[in-house]
Structure 1
Amino acid sequence: MALLPHAARWTPRTLPRKRPHRPRRLLVVDDEQAGAEAIVESLSLSGYDAQFVLSGQAAVRALDAWTPEIALLDINMPGMDGFAVARQLRQDGRTQHIAIVAFTAQDELAIRAEGIAAGFDGYCQKGAAPESLLRLLKQIAGMPP
């Protein structure tokens, strides 16, 4: 299910229909603050209600106050990596049905098998044009490209 060279949809999971006048909630989990802030700003400008946390543990704690519809997870993080976060999200009743996207500098082929096993729905390579990520998110949300 390739989209663009730097983004891919791995599962057919689609988000439920969006309620009118309510932006999609998206959580960015990345240990690099500058990058997390930049992607949240870009996603917010594109109409998402986006927030970020700087670790896998912080992502799990954030669920008590705010539940996303989409999680954008870095893979290489100290402590709890993106694979562990994805597995935890799939086991939690509040988040087991959300869309989870790997957002990493790693090559897709290097993480695809483990990513799918952990519960990821798609992949986007960091450093790619923002349009690749936005197009993937629209596809997962069931919107026309």
Structure 2
Amino acid sequence: MAHHPAARLLIADDDANLLAAYVLYFSAHGFEVRTARNGLDALAQYCAWHPQAALLDVEMPRLDGRAVARRIRYVGDVPAPTLVAVTGLERAEEKSESLRSGFNHHFVKPVPMPVILAALTGRVRH
């Protein structure tokens, strides 16, 4: 039987409890996970590791999630990673700004983990 390596997932959020919950959930669903607590560390992790997907809080210290998304898109990895914003920002303009910044999805907290999982695995389109 062929062994398929786990998809690499970068998760960045400044909420330590939420970050821990994400790690448990996505690790249990077969992802190899690395984390960051701020935007600069998230960007450094991305550039060192080049994961297939990133789950980013928008409002993080040192560099916000949108700036991280723009820089990830600038790197130009092929295939492009799936970028998911999870944030407290709920206005339509804020969602549009996230999508313009390079995110594939913009979800407003609290988001059920299965919804995020579906977005990361390409089973949801919105």
Report the TM range for the smaller structure's normalisation: 0.7 to 0.9
Say whether 1:23 aligns with 2:12: no
Residue 18 of structure 2 aligns with which residue? Answer: 35
Residue 115 of structure 2 aligns with which residue? Answer: 132
Measured after TM superposition, the shift of residue 108 of structure 1 is 5.9
Q: Select 1:105's aligned residue among 88, 92, 99.
A: 88
Distance 1:79 1:37 in 2: 20
Give the ranges of 4+ consecutive aligned residues of structure 1 lying more than 4 Å apart after TM superposition: none
Q: Please say if residues 39 and 63 of structure 2, whose CA atoms lie closer than 8 Å, have aligned partners that are also in contact.
A: yes
Unaligned runs of 5+ in 2: none
Measured after TM superposition, the shift of residue 21 of structure 1 is 1.3
Measured after TM superposition, the shift of residue 44 of structure 1 is 0.4
71-80 or 60-69: bigger deviation: 60-69
Q: Please say if residues 25 and 69 of structure 1, whose CA atoms lie closer than 8 Å, have aligned partners that are also in contact.
A: yes
Distance 1:20 1:117 in 2: 37
Distance 1:140 1:53 in 2: 26
CA RMSD across the alignment: 2.4
Q: Which amino acid aligns with 2:69?
A: A
Q: Cα–Cα, structure 1 residues 124 and 81, in superposed 2: closer, same or farther, change >3 Å?
A: same
Residue 62 of structure 1 aligns with which residue? Answer: 45
31-40 or 123-132: bigger deviation: 123-132
Instruction: Give the match's secondary structure for 2:10.
Output: strand
User: CA offsets per residue over residues 116-145 of structure 1, 9 Å max, x none?
Assistant: 11111012333222111112222269xxxx
Matched length = 124
Measured after TM superposition, the shift of residue 79 of structure 1 is 2.2
Distance 1:117 1:84 in 2: 11
Distance 2:78 2:38 in 1: 17
Q: Which amino acid aligns with 1:63?
A: Y
Instruction: Give the match's secondary structure for 1:72.
Output: strand
Q: Please say if residues 90 and 96 of structure 1, whose CA atoms lie closer than 8 Å, have aligned partners that are also in contact.
A: no
Measured after TM superposition, the shift of residue 22 of structure 1 is 1.0
1:79-118 matches, within 5 Å, as: 79-94=62-77, 97-107=80-90, 109-118=92-101
